[in-house]
Each structure stands twice: as structure tokens, then as C-alpha cells.
Amino acid sequence: MPKINPSIDSVGGFQVAGVHAGLKKDGAKDFTLIVSGTDCVCAGVFTRNKVKAAPVLLDMERLAQNPTIIRAVATNSACANACTGSVGLENARATADLAADALAIDAEQVLVMSTGVIGAHLPMDKIGRGLRLSRGDLGSDWRAAAAGIMTTDTRPKLGSIRVDTAAGSYTIAGIAKGAGMIAPDMATMLSVLVTDAQLSLPDAQAALSSASQQSYNRIVVDGDTSTNDTVLLLANGHSGVEISDDAALREFQAALNALTQYLAQEVVRDGEGVTKFVTLDIINAESEAAAEQIGQTIGASVLTKSAFYGSDANWGRIVAAAGRAGAAFEPDGSSLWVAAGEALPQGQRGLQIFSGGMPTDYQEADAAAIMNEPSITFTLDCGLGGGCATIWTCDISHEYISINGDYRS
């Protein structure tokens, strides 16, 4: 599998722009436009929060009706357009209408995304300004596009992968935003993925759903699921490479999985106030679903996250979180290890700190030395079956409280 490129040079048939429309007070980029020169097959996954923002409702409606003619995605930051009633829906549609007019396409070919403060109406004069500016700035500056969707993110998140096949080469690229309200269900962030490969709608949706489950749905920053979660995959076929047979679909899936996992991990690394990146490998659970449930519960626990921040290998908090996850768990048959780093070598788990319902005779100084590292891996062997899942999470710091205590100001 080719390595992920942490940047995007170009993707056939796509143009992008990221501009300052005036939504952010500090002059930072706050509006992004992604455009394909031809119709795209578009797959999507969205938040399962029952409180869905207007752009989510609009995009779900459009993908249910016309998922094979999408040409553009317009995104604003600084305002979520969530809990805004009928006016919010009108403004979401108006955003699509303005984009369609600027690009000389049909409104039904435009999807919209928003991120920011809940309960505020979109300033449509600034949305219009953003569309005018971005229309005139369309090109290949994907970093600017990634910057335009940021909220409390400290840096743009983008990446690409080139796949060479006997039929030719194609690219998959993507941008993402997210730093807080990260506990995917389903997606807890914004991300737009594009490819110049040709895909059928069923294959695109299956690939995106599978990749999202293994990436965007395996990260936790704070345990909160957003109202605006949206992940889109647009395929325009510009490369001429058709992804249709089983071998080609497997290769595409592997590449998409790699890219979305990279972007998902970047979200965690840039989480609000994060000082430690933590990998939770849950193995030998009753099922994969059980392993994921246990890992998500541990990853969202404020107690475990506080211990991570304090460099405390507090196995008791981890085991207690596993026991309340709602999945089968037997502490007497479980074991827990901690190691410095991530993606540990095959067969290596580090320092064993819990086994058979009790702590081992490990030395606290050894555990503390591991916990002082910026990246840490915990391996929890549940001893119940063959279910495994990896969750990427982080600590919680004083800075997280500071960021979210005055977010609306």
C-alpha cells in the first residue's frame, strides 16, 4: 500500500478554494468550496444525533434523491446552523442556490456543510461574499480549503494517496476538521473525500461506510457527538479508471481505509488541549462490536483521560470503564498492558499491569516512564473470544476546559 501523502497536489477534475468571508473575527479562512467539473457519484454518512443541523438534513435529502449528479460542496465555519428551525433550512437551501448561481449548475447538485456555534443563524451576506470570493479563487490549494473548515482546530488536516493499477492511476484525497465534540456516531466531524476514480453509487456508499466505521467511528476526544457530523465521498471518474471488479474494489477499499484512518488520527492528535495520543487495542472480546464498545467507553471516560494527562497508569479506571461498557467482560480473565508509542511490533505489548482480576507486581516508576511519553498504547485482552477493535483517543487537560468554557465568545 502506498504511503499517505500529508498534502494534496491535485485530483483530476476537482478545484477548491478556501477564503475569509467575514464569519471569523480574526480574519482567518472560514469558507470552503470544492467543485468538480463533471457530475460525481456521492456517498455520505451523517450524525446519528437526533438533533441534526439544517445542512445535514438538506444533504441527506439530496443524496436520497439525486446522489449521482453532485458537483459542489460549500462549507462555512463559525456557525453550525443547528437548532435554527425553518429559517435555518431556508438558509441552507439559499447557500446551495447561491453556489449554483455562481457555478452555473443546478441547486440540486450542491451540498452544504456548516460547523461552529449551535443556535446562530447563518449571516447570508457573508455566505454570499464567501461564494463570490471562492468562485474567483478556485484552483488546487487544498491546504487553504482545509483551513476554511476549521473551528478550534490548530492546523489543517488533509492527505492523499495515489493508487497505480494496470488500467491506470487514480487518486483519493481528503480534508477533515474536528478537535472537539468528537465521539463519532456517525462521523462527529466534517470530512470531504474525493477521487478521480469511477465508482458505482452502491460501491461508493459501501466503501465509505466501511472506511468510516474503521476510522472516523473509532476516535474519541471528549465523548460528545456533534449535530453536524458529515462525511462525503465524491467520485467523478476523471482518471478513466473504473473500480468495479472485486480485486479493484478491495484495493480501493484498502486505500480509502488508510486515508480515513490517517485523517481520523489527525483529528485526535489535534484535539482540544490534547497532550497525549492514546491507542486502545481491545483484543479477544466476545465480538468486534463488543471490543469497540469497550474501547469507546474507556476512551470517553473522564477519569481515564484525566489519568492519561497526569501520566498515571491507573489500570483501575480502565478496567472499571470496561466493566460498565455494557458488553461482556470478565475481569478475572482479562489482562492489561501499557507501552510507549503506537503501532507496536507484532507480538509486543509492553508492561503488564493487570492480570487475573488484580494488579501485577510491576514497578510504578516503570509505568510512569511509559506514561510520560506523548504516545501510549494500552492493550486489553478480554479473554472471551476473537473480537478486536482499535480506538484512538487522548487525554483531557485544563486547556480543554478553557477552550470550551468560552467557546461562544
Q: List, by residue number, the catalytic residues.
A: 188
CA-based angle 244:234:21, to the nearest 5? 170
Q: Please choose, from the candidates 144, 152, 232, 143, the residue with its C-alpha nearest in 3D space to the C-alpha of residue 190.
A: 232
CA-based angle 344:284:254, to the nearest 5? 55
